[in-house]
Amino acid sequence: MAQVYVIGYVNADLKLSISAGRKPYIRFSIFESVWRGARKERQAYQVWAFGSEAERLAKMNVRKGSQLWVCGQLHLVDNLGQDGKATYKVLKVIFKDGGYVAGSRSRGSNPDAVPAAKPAEQIPRENGFSSERRLDGDREPLPE
């Protein structure tokens, strides 16, 4: 199994369901845009979240078109086609962590929704700029 980190758009509103074993789960599709040569295409992933992760996603009030980041285990699985005979391959991600992409606006999101993860430690800012020194490689010599 491989770990994957995907940033993409949700295809439909998320809906919490209960399994036959009485465990909460959410299943949804997310797609990212990828370049194949000179052509831009969509790469789709089927995301599954179980238990507390599913409940956390449900509280986030994720809607169709929301931009999320998703981290989890990647599986390549066979899916049965609508005709009931043909199979096709699907990239399936078992959700471990995720949340809204910083700076993106979720469509129809609830401002009181619970965030998926705690924000990273903030860099102290002075007058809107980071107080840490940054090198500009075009103007300053690089350290030796």
pLDDT in tens, 4-27: 999 999 999 999 999 999 999 999
Alpha-carbon span 116 to 61, nearest angstrom: 11
pLDDT value for 88: 86
Does this model's pTM top 0.95?
Answer: no
Q: Where are the domains of the chain?
A: 2-130
Alpha-carbon span 139 to 4, nearest angstrom: 37
Alpha-carbon span 30 to 70, nearest angstrom: 9
pLDDT at 116 over 80: no
CA dihedral 115, 24, 93, 105 (to 10 degrees): -30
pLDDT at 49 over 90: yes
SS3 of the chain: the string is: CEEEEEEEEECCCCCCEECCCCCEEEEEEEEEEEEECCEEEEEEEEEEEEHHHHHHHHHCCCCCCCEEEEEEEEEEEEEECCCCCCEEEEEEEEEEEEEECCCCCCCCCCCCCCCCCCCCCCCCEECCEECCCCCCCCCCCCCC
Tell me the per-residue pLDDT of 53-95, one tens digit each, with 9 for 90 and over: 999 999 998 999 999 999 999 999 888 888 888 888 889 999 9
pLDDT at 137 over 70: no
| CATH number belonging to domain 2-130 | 2.40.50.140
pLDDT value for 34: 86
